[in-house]
Amino acid sequence: MRRIWLLCLTLSVSSSLFWGCEPPTELNRNIYRDENFFPLPGDLKNTSAFLVLEWNGRKPWIMASGNLIDKKEGLIRTAKHFTDDFGKLGLDYCRVFLMNGKIYKATLTKVTPIRDAAIIKLIPPFSPDDFTDPLLSASEMPKFGDTVYVQGLHPHAYDIRRANKEEGFSDQVVNIFETYYGQLFKDTSQELQVVFDNLEGKRVKPDPDSIRNNPWLSVEDKKALLEFENDRYIKVLTARDHKSPFSGLSGGVALNGKGEAFGVITAQNPMRFEIDDQGLFFIPGIGPAKMGEVKKQFWDTIYITPLDSIKDLDKYPQN
């Protein structure tokens, strides 16, 4: 298998991450699970969704983001590589934590044959009146240098949240793991919290030659990265280092400066490093490229599937 896993933004969570969690006992009824809601931060209400494929219908295992595009039909756009996992854990639906504080189930309804986009449909009952109005679609794609935003929900470790806060960028935590899933972390080094990310960036030009000419990338990695480093995708360089992979943002929405949707979050470039004046840096899983000081890895490059390339998605017949 190619090392395309380096680029994928969905997150497969090993049960070992939750070894310190204590689920609620029968005596302490979990009202969030019983009544299908979660505590939503007061200033957060939008069309974003946190999507979860569960292990045994109880534990979050594979996660992604989505965006509500049709209130009446309950349609959510997300990434195809997330929906490809439907059924693999024994369930043909995912759990949907919509940013109205309510929880739903959704099944796969439409998928593009070649692009990384899919539509899932909420399972009734649901009320369209509970939903925020869908985002407008951009009439044109952003130009190179334009400011854009990428939005979605995914887990952040405690150390990442602490570092962001110290830098003045406090994460907007959406308490799902502790409330709905009853996961109480005793060890902060193991703690994960779902956060809503609204990351500013700029559209930049693809640079395939930088991939082809990189002597430290394997042939396998070059092939994987070159699938995205081209005009078929919109390349976004975020304004600040994310400090960790963008895992879980797959299927989230990309917005222009007017707040209009122009794409679906698809992949990341994990091979960005700080290089010193001697050209010394470190490749994860391989080691120092040259003998010397280990340098910093950056997480700041995201690839977007443009909406104008999946216009026919809504025309596909429902399953």
Q: Which of 2-11, 120-129, 159-168 has the highest mean pLDDT?
A: 120-129
Q: What is the pLDDT of residues 295-312, one digit of tens each?
A: 567 789 999 999 999 988
Q: How many residues are listed for the chain in this entry? A: 319
Residues 28 and 117: their CA atoms lie apart, in Å, by 40
Answer yes or no: is 141 within a domain: no
27: alpha, beta or left? (left if phi > 0; alpha if psi -120 to 50) = alpha
Answer yes or no: is 140 within a domain: no
Tell me the β-bridge partners of 93. Answer: 107
Question: Nearest 5°: phi and psi at 5?
Answer: -60, -25
Q: What is the pLDDT of residues 188-227, one digit of tens each?
A: 777 899 999 999 999 999 999 988 887 667 888 889 889 9
- The larger pLDDT score, comparing residue 298 to residue 146, is at 146
For 161, the token pair is 């949240």
**What is the rounded average pLDDT of the residues 33-46?**
92
Same domain, 110 and 176: no
Same domain, 65 and 108: yes
Answer yes or no: is 257 within a domain: yes
> Who contacts 114 (Cβ-Cβ below 8 Å, separation ≥6)?
none
Q: Which of 92, 108, 134 is the last residue of a domain?
A: 134
Same domain, 118 and 157: no
The CATH number for 100's domain is: 2.40.10.10
pLDDT at 314: 65
Question: Nearest 5°: phi and psi at 84?
Answer: -60, -20
Residues 161 and 170: their CA atoms lie apart, in Å, by 7
Same domain, 69 and 218: no
Same domain, 66 and 177: no
Tell me the β-bridge partners of 107. Answer: 93, 121
Give me the DSSP letters along 145-179.
T-EEEEEEEEEEEHHHHHHHHHTT---EE---TTT
Q: Which residue segment(s) compose the domain that 54 sits in?
A: 3-134
Residues 134 and 40: their CA atoms lie apart, in Å, by 19
Least confident among 119-128, 216-225, 271-280, 303-312: 271-280
Q: Which of 85, 103, 134 is the last residue of a domain?
A: 134
> Who contacts 67 (Cβ-Cβ below 8 Å, separation ≥6)?
47, 48, 49, 76, 77, 78, 134, 135, 151, 251, 252, 253, 261, 264
Answer yes or no: is 318 within a domain: no
Q: What is the pLDDT of residues 74-89, one digit of tens each?
A: 999 999 999 999 998 8
Answer yes or no: is 319 within a domain: no
Mean confidence (pLDDT) of the chain: 84
Domain count, the chain: 2
Residues 111 and 242: their CA atoms lie apart, in Å, by 30
Same domain, 192 and 277: yes
Same domain, 93 and 54: yes
Q: Which of 134, 163, 190 is the last residue of a domain?
A: 134
Same domain, 186 and 278: yes
Answer yes or no: is 13 within a domain: yes
Same domain, 165 and 292: yes
pLDDT over 70, % of the chain: 80
Same domain, 193 and 275: yes
pLDDT at 22: 46
0.75 exceeded by pTM: yes
Same domain, 297 and 239: yes
Confirm if 6 and 218 have CB atoms less than 8 A apart. Answer: no
Answer yes or no: is 125 within a domain: yes
Same domain, 295 and 160: yes
